[in-house]
Each structure stands twice: as C-alpha cells, then as structure tokens.
A and B are shown apart, each in its own frame.
Chain A
C-alpha cells in the first residue's frame, strides 16, 4: 500500500516559468490537501480538494496559483509565473474520512 506520492521531489524553475506539482493520494482516499512550508516555519494550509471539487481554497493566493483533483489522475498544484518568494516545500496530504492525514514527502521548489 503505497503512501502519498508526490513528484517531483525537487523542482528548479526560473522566475516567470510555470511549476506543476503532482500528488497521488493513498489508495481509496478521496480528500487531498496542499500545504506550503517556508524554511524554518510551520506548514500553512493552501487548498482542500475532493474529486473534481475545490472545497476550501482560502489559503491559496488568488493570483498565479491553482489546484485541481480530476476524476482520474493525480492532484495538481500549478504555480504560474513563479517568483523567488514561491520557493518553499509543498506538501500534499490525503485523508480517509474521519481519520488523520497522511503526508507525502513533499516537492521542494526553488526559483532562481
């Protein structure tokens, strides 16, 4: 039973490029969350999705950021026109209803 799979593990983008982060939840989990972690800080909630629906995007910047969780395939966090301040670790977590989260190993985005 594979855990939450995130790829890539490391991603380097130049300013202005697009970053696409992928997350495959645990088998049978239909709830996905994205969190961002800046160096030496805690995790900040970004967005909560269920299959084909965004439930809560209150933590996601209104511009340049988008997320989806299609009926088939992984959840995608997309950052357009990246800036240096987007450099962070992005963690995905999945959940079976009523139980605790399981986090993936994260994608470390570096904007140069």
Chain B
C-alpha cells in the first residue's frame, strides 16, 4: 500500500522567512496530494491540493510543487506570519480509492 514520509518533523523560522516542507510517496498510482493545517485542539483544514496532471499550484503565500518522476511533493509558505504556526500534514491518495494516507506531520513555529 501507499506510504507517505514527511520532513522535517519540526521547523522554526523567523517571521517573514519562507518555510518548505517535503513529502515523498511510494505508490505511483497516487494522483491527488492535499496539504492540511491543524491547529491545537482542532481538526485538519485543507489549505491547498494538487492533482498529478499539474506540476505546481499557488494560492497567495502558499504553493505546492509535485515531481511525479521522483514521487515527491513540497509545500512552500512565503512571508511567514505567527498565525502560520501549526502542524502541517501532507497526504496522498488514488482518487479511485478515496482514502488518504497521511504523513507524520511537521510542526511549524513562526517567531515574531
């Protein structure tokens, strides 16, 4: 089955810096890659996703890149703000089978 690895487990940056979180997946059939943000005591919130027919997608300060050949995808956050501090999870699925396989999470801390 699918296996998703995520790095780093923790990431500390200064406000205004960029943050990059990387994930690799094992199943070449996976074609949908969402990213979730989870704040303390809350459920995961979808922040951006990408499908395998594109290599990059951007939404304001957030972007995701996908390299299908290498089976890895990355989340890029620019101009980080303290409110970006949270745990971020990547995930992968074969949309035909619906279920998501999650990475182990990255705790991002943005210091003012």
Residues on A close to B: CB < 8 A? Answer: 4, 31, 33, 35, 41-45, 48, 55-56, 58-59, 91, 95, 98, 100-106
Q: A100-B49, A105-B43, A106-B43 are in contact. Are A42 and B99 (CB under 8 A)?
A: no
Residues on B close to A: CB < 8 A? Answer: 6, 34, 36, 41-46, 49, 89, 95, 97-105
Contact between B43 and A42 (Cβ–Cβ < 8 Å)? no
Contact between B34 and A56 (Cβ–Cβ < 8 Å)? no
Q: What's the A-B contact tally at a CB cutoff of 8 Å? A: 51
**Nearest opposing residue in chain B for A6, CB measure:** B43
**Nearest opposing residue in chain A for B6, CB measure:** A42
> How far is A58 from B95 in the complex, measured between Cα atoms in Å?
16
Contact between A100 and B43 (Cβ–Cβ < 8 Å)? no
Contact between B103 and A104 (Cβ–Cβ < 8 Å)? no
From A35, A48, A91, A100, B46 is in contact (CB under 8 Å) with: A100
Please indicate the chain A residues that have their CB under 8 angstroms from the CB of B49 in the complex: 100
Contact between A101 and B46 (Cβ–Cβ < 8 Å)? yes
Contact between B104 and A41 (Cβ–Cβ < 8 Å)? yes
From B44, B101, B105, A91 is in contact (CB under 8 Å) with: B44
**Nearest opposing residue in chain A for B99, CB measure:** A45
Please indicate the chain A residues that have their CB under 8 angstroms from the CB of B97 in the complex: 56
**Nearest opposing residue in chain B for A91, CB measure:** B43
